[in-house]
Structure 1
Amino acid sequence: MNDDNNSRRKFLKTLGGVGAGLTAVNAFANQPNTPSRLSGAQYMGDFVAPKLDTIKVAIIGCGARGGTHYNHVSAFEGTEFVGICDLYPDLTERAKKKVLANGNGERHKNVKLYSGDKHAYKKMLAETKPDLVYVVTPWEWHAPMAIDAMNAGAHVCVEVPLTTSIEECWQVIDTSEKTKKHCMMLENVNYGRDELMFLNMCRQNVFGELLHGEAAYIHELRGQMGHVQKGRGTGSWRTYHWAKENGNLYPTHGLGPVAQYMNIGRGDDNFRRIVSFSSPAKNHALYAKKNFKPDSKLNEIEYKGGDMNTSIIKTHMGRTIMVQWDESSPRPYTRHNLIQGTKGIGAGFPTRIALEGGVPGGAKNHHGWAQGDGLKEMYAKYDHPLYTRMADVAKKMGGHGGMDAIMNFRVIECLRKGQPLDQNVYEGCLWSAVTPLTRKSVAEDGMPQDFPDFTRGMWKSTKPLPIVS
């Protein structure tokens, strides 16, 4: 009798757990704040656009990052630059010289320049009618410009982050689905050699079942604060984000690769919720006091954003991801790039691998790291085929070790061949959503924040990113 009662209690407990799990799944897929898909809209997860033999390209923003993109894209076969736009005329002229040189004076000869007005890009879109627009501007312009470009009939590639708010995420998604135009965030780190190799290793189950990841953007950038006094340059606007916003303002470089390792938003798993805390805000004020005159604008700013933000994401399957951001502390650069599975671990900065049973040519067991020369056999066996195909191009064209060149080449290749882009609009919004969610969590002393399901439940049927050759 007692055994029967115990068995019954165990059964009911198990049944209750299953019911709770189903409730959580349904709640996640049908959140009350999820707007309905627009009438006639198309889900863009695996979207394939008609092939474009020649891609008419325009760019908005010709500064540091813009220079990388127009240099690469104008050199690729099958592109024709039709428009170049920047607030500053000298930057558009510099861009035109490079673009014409890459086209041997012929392929891009009809390119038009637009400048002098924050809204000059709208005239460019109307007059040049591009097929593809690159948006490389301050963060707050990313979503509005992407929306305008798609509504003008163009696919769009947007520098990170894709959006700065949850509301913008939905606006970008609705526009992409309505216009049936690609909107890809330019997460270049997904194309780094080690990130591509770890992705290949995850697909081949080398690390086993994936349990945990770590991602970061820790990059001391206080030197950009001087741009405020010049009135021009990245720091002239980025400094005010540091001052006003308290959360993770730049999550995607570290997070994008880890999300792809785990097939986040692509059939297997999705982000569920996040908690976030920030350290005190010290380093920006200290730097301003030390390096600028007392009456400088930089010493009048109140810096409210914590120097180090640390967040934990819990996924639908129960996996965890630690995400960190710090652009002000005196320390070496790192993105962490860590993926832990049941069979071993891969990590970055420096690149190292530990596997149960050891690493061929490296450590004998999982108690020691294989790194440096001890990874030669791993690179030989697991280098991503996209990297091996593109290694010479990456070396020649550069851009963060060649990852920029590979990324830009893939955008053009996919559009010309009629293939899905490597990153869809929902991934760009999901990774970017970390910023507004962490700001809210920090403001609420670490209270959990739920991720919206930007796919409206369609992530479960979206294909994983293939190992393209």
Structure 2
Amino acid sequence: MNEQTPHAPSRRQALGAAAAVGAGLGAGALGGPSAGTAEAAVPAPASAPAGTVAAPSRRGATMAGVPFERRSTVRVGIVGFGNRGGSMIGHFLSLPGVRVTAVCDPVRDKAARASAKVTAAGQPAPALYTNGENDYEKLCARSDVDLVYVATPWDSHFAIARAAMLNGKHVGVECPVAMRLDELWDLVDLSEQTRRHCMQLENCCYGRNEMRVLRMAHAGKFGRLLHGAGAYNHDLRGLLFSPTYYEGPWRRLWHTRMRGDLYPNHGFGPVATYMDVNRGDRAVSISSFGTPALGLAEYREANVASGDPSWKESYTGSDRTISLVQTARGRVIRLEHDVSTPHPYSRVNSLGGTRGVFEDYPARVYIEPDHQDDRWGDFSAYAAEFDHWLWKDHANPPGAHGGMDYLMVYRLMQCMRLGLTPDFDVYDAAVWTAPLPLSDASIKAKGAPQEIPDFTRGEWAAARSGVDSVKPA
């Protein structure tokens, strides 16, 4: 979607919504895992972070474990056709039992190109919504849409997800699902009240390495889990200053507003899944630190003409943020974010326990008794036994990012058609996104720990299935 220079994000002002449920506040008692879990509980830190408050009262039943309604055809409305939405529509169109019935983007040419893809796939022409930034509201109100897929600039994610659920639609949102803690709580409450799923579409959870490590972890290959790490370290300097890649400067401008981890989901999602966060463990606090903001200004000086509007911008976002997340069972997760300095791409993606460790980029593993003499082992040797059934069924999935985009869409559509519980729910979306505002607060407080709310309101202690589910018959 098109976006001019954004104001400080406040979705309630834009929508005229109800009063905030506690902007910027953490929530919930720390608690421990339920009796009978595979690993003994490790006590949570003795002192909770400052500012601990009770979770808002639940106004609807939990959405944990709630299946979709079974349907023969999933009707999808797509909002946003920049780089992400334009590339993802093909995956929806490639699957049987899926129809794209409506598309929305204020840039009419982008919506028209999306419509042409729909008709080229042999489907009826979708309804077009191109009348300004808020035309998504009409798409969400349609009776022939079951799922709203959101691929717009970050600042609009919350508003569109909210409109979708209020109109009785399930919604899948690209990262991050929202930008503020009060918005995350609102999405949790709305999902519970409307009985609609609100999902963070975290494609990295469907990566082949990530899914293999997940199955190995759940099989006990790493022993009792102790630590993990994830990151989004991706040199985006050229794209952030490109006049054509993004629709306006919206993504770069976030580096003028916040110092924290702007994109925690790609790193946090897979590691949280390995550790059964929200399914037997939970993230309780985060401490973050950030470097000076130098990279974007230096790149601009070397590569951008002096008359460019970007020269009016002052960058305050840390070039690299490093965060430590503590879980209720005493585990530690390290998160990193760096899009402003030169370096090879890495999501870090590591997991360690009492029997061994996996590290990615490059993929390597050391597990006792399989390996010895402090020498890394061949991770591919575990493919036959531990590759996820999604990867066994789709050995060479199409599309970008090594095929994980396709598998994410395939699996979501499968769950909706068969009436299965989604692999990830609104609680996962909220927890994976919470480091965004909380890391900013921690860095500004010189690393002081910030509480990660218990968005599940106590449901996290119960073990339940997720993406490591059994292949449907």
Q: Give the TM-score normalised by the residue count of structure 2.
A: 0.87
- Asked whether 1:131 is paired with 2:146, we answer yes
Q: Is the aligned partner of 1:468 residue 2:447?
A: no
Tell me how far apart the structure 2 counterparts of residues 176 and 220 of structure 1 sit (CA, whole Å): 35
Aligned CA-pair RMSD: 2.0
Q: Cα deviations across residues 83-141 of structure 1 (Å, max 9, x unaligned)?
A: 00011111111111112222x2xxx3041111140011112222454111101101111
Give 2:74's aligned residue. Answer: 55
Distance in structure 1 (CA, Å) of the matches to 2:166 and 2:88: 22
> Partners of 1:375 and 1:213 in 2: how far apart?
17
* Pair 1:356-2:368 in alignment: yes
Please list every run of 5 or more consecutive structure 1 residues that lacks an aligned counterpart in the other structure.
Answer: 1-19, 360-364
The SS at the match of 1:391 is: coil
Deviation (angstroms), 1:217: 0.5
- CA–CA separation in structure 2 for the residues paired with 1:23 and 1:324: 22
Deviation at 1:58, TM superposition (A): 0.3
- The percent of aligned pairs where both chains have the same amino acid is 37
Deviation (angstroms), 1:49? 2.4
Flag the 1:146–1:462 CA change in 2: closer, same or farther, 3 A: farther
Q: Which moved more, 1:211-220 or 1:119-128?
A: 119-128
- Residue in 2 aligned with 1:282? 294
Most deviating of 438-447 and 374-383? 374-383
Please tell me whether residue 161 in structure 1 is matched to residue 176 in structure 2. Answer: yes
* 122-131 vs 252-261, greater mean Cα deviation: 122-131
What amino acid maps onto 2:246 in structure 1? G
Name the count of aligned residue pairs.
Answer: 428
Partner Cα separation in structure 1 for residue 288 and residue 128 of structure 2: 43
CA positional deviation for 1:53? 1.1
Distance, in Å, in 2 between the alignment partners of 1:23 and 1:218 is 29
> Are 1:109 and 2:124 matched, yes or no?
yes
1:260-317 alpha-carbon deviations (Å, 9 max, x no partner): 0000111x21001110010011010011111112232112210001100001011101
Q: Residues of 1 paired with 2:174 and 2:316: CA distance? A: 25
Corresponding residue for residue 117 of structure 2? 98
Q: Distance in 1 between matches of 2:412 and 2:203?
A: 11
Structure-2 change in CA distance of 1:366 and 1:90 (3 Å): farther
The one of the two structures with greater contact order (alpha-carbon pairs below 8 A, sep at least 6) is 2
- Show structure 2 runs of 5+ residues with no match: 1-41
Q: Look up the match of 2:460.
A: 459
What's the offset of the Cα at 1:68? 2.6
In the alignment, residue 34 of structure 1 is paired with which amino acid? Answer: A
Counterpart AA for 1:87: P
Q: Is the 8 A contact 2:241 2:252 kept in 1?
A: no
| 8 Å CA contact retained: 1:263, 1:269 | yes
Alpha-carbon distance in 2 for matches of 1:430, 1:94: 35
Structure 1 SS opposite 2:141:
helix
Please report how far the alpha carbon of residue 384 of structure 1 lies from its aligned counterpart in structure 2 after TM superposition: 1.4
In 1, the alpha carbon distance for the partners of 2:176 and 2:76 equals 21
Contact 1:37–1:174 (CA under 8 A) maintained in structure 2? yes
Deviation at 1:380, TM superposition (A): 1.8
Q: Report the secondary structure of 2:249's partner residue.
A: helix
* 1:246 and 2:248 matched: no
CA distance change for structure 1 residues 467 and 50 in 2, over 3 Å: closer, same or farther? closer
1:34: which partner in 2?
55
Counterpart position of 1:316: 328
Q: Could you tell me how far apart the structure 2 residues matched to 1:430 and 1:80 are?
A: 31
In structure 2, how many angstroms separate the alpha carbons of the residues matched to 1:337 and 1:428? 19
The residue aligned with 2:11 is none
Other-structure match for 1:13 = none
Residue type at the aligned position of 1:335 = R
User: Structure 1 residues 438 and 297 mapped into 2: Cα distance closer, same or farther (>3 Å)?
Assistant: same
Residue in structure 1 matched with residue 394 of structure 2 by the alignment: 390
Q: Secondary structure at the match of 1:298?
A: helix
Q: Counterpart amino acid of 2:406?
A: A
Supply the distance in 1 between the matched residues of 2:373 and 2:347 (Cα, whole angstroms).
Answer: 22
Deviations 1:414-444 (A, max 9, x none): 0111111111110111010000000000011
- Structure 2 residue 255 is matched with structure 1 residue 256: no
Do the aligned partners of residues 248 and 169 (structure 1) sit closer, same or farther apart at CA in structure 2, a change above 3 Å counting?
same
Q: TM-score, normalised by structure 1?
A: 0.88
User: What whole-Å deviation, never above 9, does each CA across 1:376-433 have from its counterpart, x for those lacking one?
Assistant: 42112211122111224x1xx2221000000000100001111111111101110100
Task: Report the AA paired with residue 222 of structure 2.
Answer: F
**SS state of the match for residue 395, structure 2?**
helix
Shift of 1:255: 1.1
Report if aligned partners of 2:44, 2:328 keep a CA contact under 8 Å in 1.
no
1:146 equivalent to 2:165? Answer no
Instruction: Summarize the Cα distance change of 1:433–1:22 in structure 2 as closer, same or farther, 3 Å threshold.
Output: closer
Alignment-derived partner of residue 77 in structure 1: 96
**Cα distance in 2 between the residues matched to 1:306 and 1:82:** 41
Q: Which residue of 2 aligns with 1:197?
A: 212
1:208 to 217, 220, 223: 223
**Any conservation in 1 of the 2:80–2:105 contact (CA below 8 Å)?**
yes
Assess if the C-alpha contact under 8 Å between 1:263 and 1:464 holds in 2: no
Q: Which has the larger radius of gyration?
A: 1
**Residue pairs, 1:418-457, within 5 angstroms:** 418-457=419-458
Question: Quick check: 1:410 aligned with 2:411?
Answer: yes
> Would you say the 8 A contact 2:43–2:330 is kept in 1?
no
Deviation at 1:236, TM superposition (A): 1.7
Instruction: Classify 1:24/1:200 alpha carbon distance in 2 versus 1 (closer, same or farther; 3 Å).
Output: same
Counterpart position of 2:374: 367
